[in-house]
Structure 1
Amino acid sequence: MSSFSDIEKMMVEYRRHLHRNPELSFQEEKTSSFIKQVLGEQGVRIEDFGTHHSFAAIVEGSGAGKTYGLRAELDALPITEKSGVDFLSTNPIAMHACGHDMHMAIAIGVTLSLHRQRESLKGRFLAIFESGEETLPGGAQAITQSKLFSLLKPDAMFSIHVLPELEVGKIGVCPGKYMASGDEVYITIDGKGGHAALPHLLTDPVVCAAEIILGLQTLVSRKAPPLIPTVLSFGRVEALGATNIIPDEVSIAGTFRTMDEAWRNEAHRLIQQTATGIAASHGAKCEIEIRKGYPSIYNNPELTLLVKRTATELIGNKNVVDLEPRMTTDDFAYFSNLIPSVFFRVGTGFPNTDNPQLHRPTFNPAEESIGVAHSLLSKILLTLMA
């Protein structure tokens, strides 16, 4: 889109302000205050969820009808920005490298658009601004357990997420199981260290840890049901020895991802069993902690089809992309597991460019996508609330 309406131009300015002033998870006091001020000055009703800085902006139609929600995240990532834009983050330890500034600006715009047309609408709209999505335990679960959410519980929920792999002007959808659950796995192996030249006198926790890492891969290749996506990866190994010193202890940390709750729980048991068994075979002991993270996201097929059809009408069939499931996580899953929901992607990649990925210090989404997302969400919600 080469031009914006007045409200879309305002959204770009809001996005740039939010980008300049990022705040980390559960610390988004100024971010929430800014959005509350922008919407409150236009007469939008604001209610706090009573959970950190999460709040709702509420638009009431003139007639009875269903309630619809749109989630946007408030928090930034602990990254020093290197994107080179002229509205660079002023916080040296935080950056909106996951596009949450885009999501917030779009949610502000949709809220204002619906608020201006509220007399012709039926039902209720909630823009849910969530604190702490990037850090466990996230903010969504606390919102769903709040008194305000139970009073204003939506009949359907929407969420968007920018995607640099998808060219600006395109929308991506995936019905059914779309994103994985995510759990953190921490294992500490206690052995007996000493001189590296005398291994026969030791219980080597380094060799034990190596075998545990390799042994746990059989959970994916031999224990996981073949039709259930599963990933178990270890990205941290800490053995504080030296070239000639075997340490007493080794710690490893990783992530477990899948899309089935029954298998997820069984896998947790097998991780415990396998690691403990391997450690025992070495004469070592191990402590295992599995921090259960977000569940998997399920996209309601009917809502996904609504998004796809509306996007096709708005931007054309060639710009609506069918996406594959992905093993990343998002705590929007707490909404999608509770009520009919859809989480879809908004293309932010510049054409013919190697666009930096999400969570990179050089991430720089195309702002034209703000207008695409605003137009699509507004059209969907105006149709549902007509």
Structure 2
Amino acid sequence: MTRSLAIVENWPPELQEQLVAWRRHLHLNPELSFEEHHTAAYVEKNLREIGGLEISRPTPTSVVARLIGGKPGKTLALRADMDALPIHEENEFEFASAVPGVMHACGHDGHTSILLGVVSLLAGQRGQLHGEIRFIFQHAEELPPGGAAELVAAGVLDGVDYIVGEHLASQLPLGQIGVAYGEMMASPDNFTIVVKGYGGHGGFPHKSVDPIAIGAQIVSNLQHIASRNTNPLDRLVVSITQFTSGSSHNVIPDTATLKGTVRSFDPQVRKDAQQQLRRIVEGITNAHGAEYELDYLLGYDPVVNDHTLTRLAEEAAVELVGRDNVVQTPPGMSGEDFSAYQQRVPGTFINIGAGNPDKGILYPHHHPRFTFDEAALATGVQLFVRTAEKLLEWDY
């Protein structure tokens, strides 16, 4: 191997400008999960302008491009997600969201731009490639059941040997890359509990079945699932994140609604927590003469990275940013539907540092003032390409 496709001594300024232009267009025009019609059309248009690809639309709001090499070999898939969140943006950029109540608050605009940049660098290398690179521009990462599972069902991984994904991370400083061996993200299950009591006058509570008082007991007792019913060495989070009821200071309402999330890594812990939650809700409501409805939505499976792929990605990262700037990412209780791909083929998911407090870039993901340093786009492109180079054979 006489040269590297990834490490560009003189990074083309026009490519950096193009990455920023793609990102800002997408940020200005965000679309929610399963509604990414403009985004998918924009991606397809740019892919066709790049040329040299086989392009398909496996779902109405996703795009897949295949770069098929001139010689047989392995197939690598690279994935970017494209959807935005139902958040009203508070940034005052010139390219701030033009859609009220919708915002790219998780970096998916950057992920899409990065993958377009990878395509633009590699599209002309088809003759030197042994095998295939499959570029997956995925819809609906933010909303279960998620776009990844839908794309897997549509066959986008047929014939794929490996898959690699990246995520811009505001919690990591610009210039760092985070890798995780094995468990990386948890299974994010959600639930809604409706406590059905019997309303009445606030001055005569004995004539009512108070769903608020019952709901408060449910909140308190659900904390026992993690603290008293689960092995302390097993990672489990049970959080109530919403409690709504009532409309007046002197009226006991008929119902109370509680919403929350259960997050874990172990399948048995996940199953046990769901059963314990139902048992607690049923026991408390029965004890107080109330009824309940429980809607428990299983989210994504945990993201568990393949060790061999992660090692190769780490080697690529070290070559790009140096040993001191490659960090080990500890497991976290967030979720990602990249796990749907990992259920089918070996995969690894890498964090690209994109925070920069000196520029005021310090807000967390899903915050109305979230953003990232656009210099991280080049790092994302080069890491993808360098990792592809390590996984596939090229003629130079």
Q: TM-score, normalised by structure 2?
A: 0.93
Quick one: which of 148, 159, 163 aligns to 1:157?
163
Deviation at 1:245, TM superposition (A): 1.6
- Partner residue in 1 for 2:341: 335
CA–CA separation in structure 2 for the residues paired with 1:173 and 1:383: 16
- Partner residue in 2 for 1:315: 321
CA–CA separation in structure 2 for the residues paired with 1:153 and 1:16: 34
Confirm or deny that 1:107 pairs with 2:109.
no
8 Å Cα contact 2:89-2:97 kept in structure 1: yes
- Partner residue in 2 for 1:201: 207
CA–CA separation in structure 1 for the residues paired with 2:280 and 2:98: 47
Structure 2, unpaired ranges of 5+: 1-7
- Partner residue in 2 for 1:26: 34
What are the superposed Cα offsets for residues 209-248 of structure 1, whole Å, 9 maximum, x if unpaired?
Answer: 1001111110011122322211111111111143222112
CA–CA separation in structure 2 for the residues paired with 1:168 and 1:344: 14
Structure 1, unpaired ranges of 5+: none
What RMSD over aligned residues (CA atoms) do the two structures have, in Å?
A: 1.7
- Partner residue in 1 for 2:3: none
- Partner residue in 1 for 2:369: 362
Runs of 4+ aligned residues of structure 1 deviating over 3 Å after TM superposition are 1-4, 351-354
Q: In structure 2, do the counterparts of structure 1 residues 97 and 3 end up closer, same or farther at CA, with 3 Å as the change threshold? A: farther
Q: 1:344-383 residue pairs with structure 2 within 5 A?
A: 344-352=350-358, 353=360, 355-383=362-390
CA–CA separation in structure 2 for the residues paired with 1:149 and 1:38: 20
Quick one: which of 61, 83, 89 aligns to 2:91?
83
8 Å Cα contact 2:141-2:337 kept in structure 1: yes
Deviation at 1:199, TM superposition (A): 2.2
Quick one: which of 55, 62, 82 aligns to 1:46?
55
Q: 1:105-184 residue pairs with structure 2 within 5 A?
A: 105-146=113-154, 148-149=155-156, 152-184=158-190
8 Å Cα contact 1:298-1:337 kept in structure 2: no
Q: 1:47-66 residue pairs with structure 2 within 5 A?
A: 47-49=56-58, 51-66=59-74
Identity of aligned residues (%): 36
SS in 2 for 1:124: strand
SS in 1 for 2:228: helix
Q: 1:289-328 residue pairs with structure 2 within 5 A?
A: 289-328=295-334
CA–CA separation in structure 1 for the residues paired with 2:233 and 2:292: 31
Deviation at 1:259, TM superposition (A): 0.8
Q: In structure 2, do the counterparts of structure 1 residues 102 and 357 end up closer, same or farther at CA, with 3 Å as the change threshold? A: same
Q: In structure 2, do the counterparts of structure 1 residues 354 and 68 end up closer, same or farther at CA, with 3 Å as the change threshold? A: closer
CA–CA separation in structure 2 for the residues paired with 1:298 and 1:246: 47
Deviation at 1:192, TM superposition (A): 1.8
Confirm or deny that 1:256 pairs with 2:265.
no
The amino acid that maps onto 1:373 is G
Deviation at 1:323, TM superposition (A): 1.2
8 Å Cα contact 2:80-2:112 kept in structure 1: yes
Deviation at 1:299, TM superposition (A): 0.7
